[in-house]
Amino acid sequence: MTEARSPTSATGAPIACDLFCAVIDNFGDIGVCWRLARQLAHEHGWQVRLFVDDLHAFQKLCPTLDTDRATQSVEGVLVEHWHAPAHAGDTLQIADVVIEAFACELPPVYVAAMAARTRKPVWLNLEYLSAEDWVADFHLRPSPHPRYALSKHFFFPGLGPGTGGVLKERTLDAERLAFERSANARETWWRNATGGPPPGPETTVISLFAYENPAIAPLLEQWRDGGKPVFLLVPEGRISGALARFFGVPAFGAGSQATRGALHAQALAFTEQRGYDPLLWASDLNFVRGEDSFVRAQWAARPFVWHIYPQADDAHLPKLDAALAHYGSTLPEAPRAALERFWHAWNGRGAPDWADFAQHLPACRARASGWAGEMARVGDLAGNLAEFAKSQLK
């Protein structure tokens, strides 16, 4: 772990940061916050306190977390169980940088104490990721508090220039390259995850992390009936029921496996958060969802299919198309159109056609590493956020 102490200019002490996370559902809210908290602590030397209202969701990603403890230190981050909307830690200390994730509301007593501080904290609202163009216009816009002499800035993650970027640890590319270059590392991963060796090069390895999705049944049929072997790796979760129905078994939990025709499927245990990346690196194609796994698939530099988090009134569809526009921008017309058809079908618009999409996987693969390079030019979100906060603290 690299410890890079980053002092505030005023006191010489490390920057103290409070990060508030309310878990709405699933794992993305805490997934993003936990990753950001660790990066700020390990890569920027900040003293980070992470307030989380749902320790059970958190524990799925971080099994060493004790769900019974009100306060605990995990990997250099102080974790506070945010057990009531008004709760703000037992001793009310206000950090130099305060981040409210995804517009969760800060405890009123905390905001009042922020306003009372002589040196006002830098207050950021970390928004959800969107690839839409308007994001760059709103990124870092200030919003004055209606009652206090405080201003909050909106920090918008994004895929393009002028946005806050997305999270990427400094060591991520090196870890991926080491995995890809080491037959031993891959063999060990396969043995640990599946109990068997990696399949041969003729097999297409696919990871499947998705919400419930009606398009899965026709896709499983196409993989079963296709000419090429498919090895499907399915972390247990919301799509597992569909696999169980397809294979005619009561459940498809971790350790389950089944073969029909050219399709072999194996269910995996949900891993600690760092354990998810090697699954992406071990696969030829990754189905991902929500926000954090969507980002990880892009850093994995392999073709991926995004199951976007569905919103009321189909508000998610322009976001899906905005991501496609970025990712597909330099793809030749035929693979770009096939990618769009397949992503749309996976998100409820049209029927999935595996043969149509599969023929363009080599082009998508070639695009994937170029795209990861383009994204990297925007800079890592934690670094961008730290730089902005420090400029405000001066």
The 3-class secondary structure across 190-228, one letter per residue, is HHHHHCCCCCCCCCEEEEECCCCCCCHHHHHHHHHHCCC
β-pairing, 285-289 vs 204-208, is: parallel
| H-state helical runs in 284-327 | 292-299, 316-327
Contact 18, 52 (CB under 8 A): no
Q: Contacts with ligand TRH: how many residues (CB under 6 A)?
A: 21
Q: Which is nearer to ligand TRH, 278 or 383 (CB)?
A: 278
240 near ligand TRH, judged by CB under 6 A? no
**Closest CB to ligand TRH among 236 and 284?**
236
The 292-331 site mask, x for binding ligand TRH (CB under 6 A), equals xx---------------x----------------------
Q: Which of 14, 16, 27, 266 contacts ligand TRH by CB under 6 A?
A: 27
Q: Does 291 contact ligand TRH by CB under 6 A?
A: yes
AA letter at 257:
Q
Q: How many degrees, rounded to 5, is the angle at CA 3 between CA 19 and CA 385?
A: 40
Tell me the closest approach of the beta carbon of residue 235 to ligand TRH, in angstroms.
Answer: 4
Tell the smallest beta-carbon distance from residue 295 to ligand TRH (Å): 8
The minimum distance between CB 309 and ligand TRH, in angstroms, equals 4
Q: Which residues pair with 260 in a beta bridge?
A: 263
User: Which span (28-36, 142-150, 215-223, 345-353) binds ligand TRH, by CB under 6 A?
Assistant: 28-36
Stretch that binds ligand TRH, among 4-12, 20-28, 135-143, 251-259 (CB under 6 A): 20-28
Out of 127, 132, 169, 291, the active site residue is 291
Q: Does 281 bind ligand TRH (CB under 6 A)?
A: no
Task: Give yes or no for residue 287 binding ligand TRH (CB under 6 A).
Answer: no
CB of 281 to ligand TRH, least distance (A): 14
Among positions 14, 17, 18, 31, the unique one binding ligand TRH when judged by CB under 6 A: 31
Q: Per CB under 6 A, which region of 64-72, 116-124, 288-296, 317-325 contacts ligand TRH?
A: 288-296
Specify whether the CB–CB gap between 61 and 272 falls below 8 A.
yes
Note whether 298 and 276 are within 8 A (CB). no
Annotated active-site residue in 29, 53, 100, 169: 29
Residues 253, 276, 352, 365: is their CA dihedral positive or negative? negative
Q: Which is closer to ligand TRH, CB of 14 or CB of 158?
A: 158
What gap in Å lies between CA 129 and CA 381, rounded to an integer? 11
74 lies in the site for ligand TRH, by CB under 6 A: no
Q: Per-residue x/- marks for ligand TRH, 246-275, CB under 6 A?
A: ------------------------xx-x--
Residue located via tokens 């194996």: 266
Pairing type for strands 142-144 and 263-268 reads unpaired
Q: Which is nearer to ligand TRH, 14 or 31 (CB)?
A: 31
Q: At what angle do helices 316-327 and 333-346 cross, to 10 degrees?
A: 150
Contact 11, 45 (CB under 8 A): no
State the nearest-atom distance from the C-beta of 273 to ligand TRH, in Å: 4
132 binds ligand TRH (CB under 6 A): no
User: Residue 42: in which H helix or E strand, if any?
Assistant: helix 28-44
**Could you write out the DSSP letters of every residue in 363-374?**
HHHHHHHHHHHH
Please, what is the end-to-end C-alpha distance for the chain in angstroms? 27
Per CB under 6 A, 344 contacts ligand TRH: no
Could you confirm whether 29 is annotated as catalytic?
yes
The answer to the question of residue 25 lying near ligand TRH (CB under 6 A) is yes
Supply 379's token pair.
């800079």
Binding residues for ligand TRH (CB under 6 A): 24-29, 31, 61, 128, 209, 235, 270-271, 273, 276, 289-293, 309
Question: Which are the catalytic amino acids?
Answer: 29, 291
